Every structure is written in C-alpha cells, then in structure tokens.
C-alpha cells in the first residue's frame, strides 16, 4: 500500500450527501489521498467546488472528462479503498448489476481493493426485497455493505435507513485498510451482548468514584459485531462523547449494580457476552444526600467502602450451554510479574473462555484511539494483539469468538 492510502469516496444523490464532507475531512486529516466521485444527482445537493476544495483533487461525474488518463479504469485500479457514502438504493442497484454509466460505477467495476458501501435511504426502500437482494449480491461478491443506523430521516420519518455517523464510517474504513477481511458476515443470526465504559459510584449528589475508561473499545466491539451480522445489545456505562453504533441497541447504566442487573437480563439467550466495561471494584457503603462540605482545616471523615460484585464471575457461573464469554483485563506489572503474568492468573480466576489483556499506562489502553495486548484462551492459547485501531482488536476478538460458536 502507498504511504498515503488512496481512497475513492463515492457520493450518491441523497439528502445525506452533506455528511460526505465530514467523512472527507476525516480522511484527509488522517493523511489519506482522497478523490471524490459524486454522481450527477449528488451534485444537486453538494457542489463540485466543495469537494474539490476539501480534497484538493478535481471532481468529475462522467467518463469523458480527462479522457487521455482513462480515469474510469485507472482510478479503480490504483485505489487502496473505495467508500460510497451515502449509497442510495439506486446506487446499490447499479453497483449490484454491474452498470457503468458514470465515473463512480465504472470505478467500482475496476476496483480490486476493499469496497465499503454506507447505505442511506428511507426505511421502506431499505427493506424492499429488491434492495435486500442487491445488498446480498454485493456482499456475496465480497463488498462490505454496512447496516444503516436507525433514527430521524427526512421529514418526520424515523427508522432504519439513516447514514451511520461519519466517524463510524471512517473507523470501519480504517479497519478495512488495516485488515481487508475484518468484516465477514460470520455472526449473522447470533445475539451478542457487550458492556462498555466505566461505572460511577456516587459519594454525594456532586461527586463520584470513577475510572479512566472511555468506552471506545467496547463501542468498537459492538460496532464490528453488528457489521458482521450480529444482533447486538450494548450495555453502556459512562463513556466519552461517543455516538451510538449503527444497528446496535444501547442500554445506559451508571453504577456497577445497575450494570450487573442489565447484563444478567441481557445475557439470557445470548450466544456471546463480552465484558469490556471497567466496573468499579468498590462503592461507598452509604450515599450522602447532600454535598459534603469543607470544614475549615479539618480533614473529611474517612470514606467507608464495600466491595462490588464481580459481574464477569457471576455471568460465567450463570452461563447457558454454548455461550462464549470474553473478559477484559487492564493490567500493570509489579514485583511479582508482568501484565501478561497477571492476565494468565486472572483468566484462571474468572473462568471465562477468552481474556483480552491490556498493559495499561500513560498513553496506552485508556482514552486513546489505538490498542494492543494479548488474547488468552481457556484452552491454553495465547495470541499477541499488535498495536492497531480498537476496531482491529475487536475484529480479532470476534474471529476467536466465531470459531468457538
């Protein structure tokens, strides 16, 4: 792959076309070389000058512009990734049936790199048998067609068919550049539960005990699982400002006890459970109903704590036949051993099928975009997870889960 990945950004003619500008900005700021290929109808929503200014590349829709360079063949041949966002019902139909009546569809026929379609249309169009058949055909040929988000569409309509957030599309696009085989539909028909974020244990109406977990790894696991075909429930404690993953049911909780209750309910009938949430080990024995005030130079009264239940151990004890359970362990080394040593001991104590061990420290694991570690199996397997996006780590975890299902 070239030093600057070459991305073709196709833009079809739908109201969500304006979001392609945000996606384009994310690609260019990440160091990608981006050529925008809009359809003629897309230019009814966003002018060519906007795409040219943001990409620094010329914009054409037809195959008769710059004929000597043969762009309708060359662009697809040289691309490292093609992303079409939004992909309308019309664009999906033309791509599925091999049409080449504009520059974008011609480039799709010559591309031999990963191709990602991010659909956006009204619910009735997304659910129509013709669209379903076209999506299935594209997926069967190796293209990645994302499941859309649910939410407000045009007018007062709501439902599935909303374009996934540009940040989510950019994350999955990066994943395909890192690992083109990361998004097979091998979890279709499976029900999966993922926990994410850090719990907060209230001290008084203002203060709480918390931790540094941003929830990014759990959200990446939920996002990748959904786009591999699973029905996903995400139990989200406190997280950074993260948008809900497309095609994922999100349940919000605050404390460790709330997360515990939600996980036990959601785990019933699930095929796989992944505990990435950073659950507080302790909580205050009592909640003060008013803000604890300073009292001159006197120290505050001692803080009495009690232990929270171990949610992962409980889920393992209550597991249903065939369930695959994955835990996460944020570890540091000490005089008795390194992070991996402590991870092996934790796997034995927890009794789960797989344990992801992250060595934590300043600038690693928490509150950052990338992650690394080891994937330990109860069968004695150990796999190093090299540094990459959190979506990449998620894809490797789901490989192991799918193999065990």
**Cα–Cα dist 146/149, whole Å:** 9
pTM of the predicted model as reported, rounded to 2 decimal places: 0.94
> Which residues, at least 6 apart from 1, have a Cβ–Cβ distance to it below 8 Å?
80, 177
State the DSSP H helix or E strand holding residue 221, giving kind and residue range, or none if neither: helix 216-227
Give the pLDDT score at 2. Answer: 47
C-beta separation of 342 from 290 below 8 A = no
Give the pLDDT score at 235. Answer: 98
C-alpha closest to that of 127 among 153, 101, 155: 153
> Which residues, at least 6 apart from 345, have a Cβ–Cβ distance to it below 8 Å?
none
Give the pLDDT score at 368. Answer: 76
State the DSSP H helix or E strand holding residue 317, giving kind and residue range, or none if neither: helix 311-317
Candidate list 211, 308, 358, 371, residue with the active-site label: 211
**Cα–Cα dist 91/315, whole Å:** 45
C-beta separation of 46 from 17 below 8 A = yes
Q: Is 211 a catalytic residue?
A: yes
Label residues 122-138 b or e (16+ Cβ within 10 Å = b). Answer: bbebbeeeebeebbebb
- DSSP class of residue 162? E
Which domains does the chain show, CATH number per domain? 6-178 (3.40.50.1950), 191-284+299-404 (3.40.50.10300)
Residue 210 CB coordination number (10 Å): 15
State the DSSP H helix or E strand holding residue 348, giving kind and residue range, or none if neither: helix 339-350
pLDDT by position in tens, the chain (length 405): 447 999 999 999 999 999 999 999 999 999 999 999 999 999 999 999 999 999 999 999 977 676 656 567 889 999 999 999 999 999 999 999 999 999 999 999 999 999 999 999 999 999 999 999 999 999 999 999 999 999 988 888 889 999 999 999 999 999 999 999 999 999 999 999 999 999 999 999 999 999 989 999 999 999 999 999 999 999 999 998 899 999 999 999 999 999 999 999 999 999 999 999 999 999 999 888 888 888 777 887 888 999 999 999 999 999 999 999 999 998 877 887 888 989 999 999 999 999 999 987 555 555 678 999 999 999 999 999 999 999 999 999 999 999 999
Tell the residue number behind the tokens 């004929």, with chain if given.
67
Residue 253 CB coordination number (10 Å): 21
Instruction: Decide: helix, strand or coil at residue 329.
Output: strand
Give the pLDDT score at 154. Answer: 83
Instruction: Decide: helix, strand or coil at residue 123.
Output: helix
Beta pairing, strands 231-236 & 191-196: parallel
**Cα–Cα dist 365/213, whole Å:** 9
What residues does 73 pair with on adjacent strands? none
Q: Which residue blocks in 97-190 are alpha helix, DSSP H?
A: 103-110, 123-127, 129-140, 166-178
> Which residues, at least 6 apart from 68, have a Cβ–Cβ distance to it below 8 Å?
none
């Amino acid at each position: 792959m070239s030093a600057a990945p070459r991305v073709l950004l196709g833009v079809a003619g739908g109201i969500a076309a304006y979001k392609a500008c945000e996606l384009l900005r994310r690609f260019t700021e990440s160091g990608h070389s981006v050529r925008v290929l809009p359809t003629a109808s897309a230019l009814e929503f966003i002018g060519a000058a906007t795409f040219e200014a943001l990409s620094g590349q010329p914009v054409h829709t037809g195959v008769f512009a710059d004929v000597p360079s043969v762009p309708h063949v060359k662009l697809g041949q040289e691309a490292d990734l093609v992303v079409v966002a939004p992909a309308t019902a019309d664009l999906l139909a033309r791509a599925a049936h091999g049409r080449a009546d504009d520059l974008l569809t011609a480039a799709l026929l010559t591309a031999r790199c990963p191709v990602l379609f991010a659909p956006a249309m009204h619910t009735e169009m997304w659910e129509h048998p013709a669209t379903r058949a076209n999506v299935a055909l594209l997926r069967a040929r190796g293209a990645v067609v994302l499941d859309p988000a649910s939410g407000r569409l045009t007018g007062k309509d709501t439902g599935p068919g909303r374009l996934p957030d540009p940040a989510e599309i950019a994350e999955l696009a990066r994943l395909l550049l890192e690992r083109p085989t990361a998004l097979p539909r091998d979890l279709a028909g499976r029900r999966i539960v993922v926990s994410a974020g850090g719990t907060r244990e209230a001290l008084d109406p203002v203060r709480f005990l918390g931790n540094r977990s941003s929830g990014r790894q759990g959200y990446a696991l939920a996002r990748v699982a959904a786009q591999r075909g699973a029905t996903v429930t995400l139990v989200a404690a406190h997280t950074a400002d993260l948008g809900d993953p497309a095609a994922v049911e999100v349940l919000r909780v605050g404390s460790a006890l709330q997360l515990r209750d939600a996980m036990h309910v959601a785990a019933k009938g699930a095929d796989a459970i992944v505990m990435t949430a950073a659950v507080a080990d302790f909580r205050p024995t009592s909640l003060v109903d008013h803000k604890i005030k300073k009292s001159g130079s006197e120290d505050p009264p001692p803080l009495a704590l009690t232990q929270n239940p171990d949610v992962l151990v409980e889920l393992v004890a209550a597991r249903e036949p065939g369930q695959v359970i994955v835990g996460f362990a944020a570890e540091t080394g000490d005089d008795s051993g390194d992070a991996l040593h402590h991870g092996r001991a934790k796997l034995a104590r927890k009794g789960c099928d797989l344990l992801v061990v992250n060595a934590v420290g300043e600038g690693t694991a928490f509150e950052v975009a990338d992650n690394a570690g080891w994937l330990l199996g109860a069968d004695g397997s150990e796999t190093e997870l090299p540094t990459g996006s959190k979506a990449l780590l998620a894809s490797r975890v789901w490989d192991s889960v799918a193999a065990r299902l």
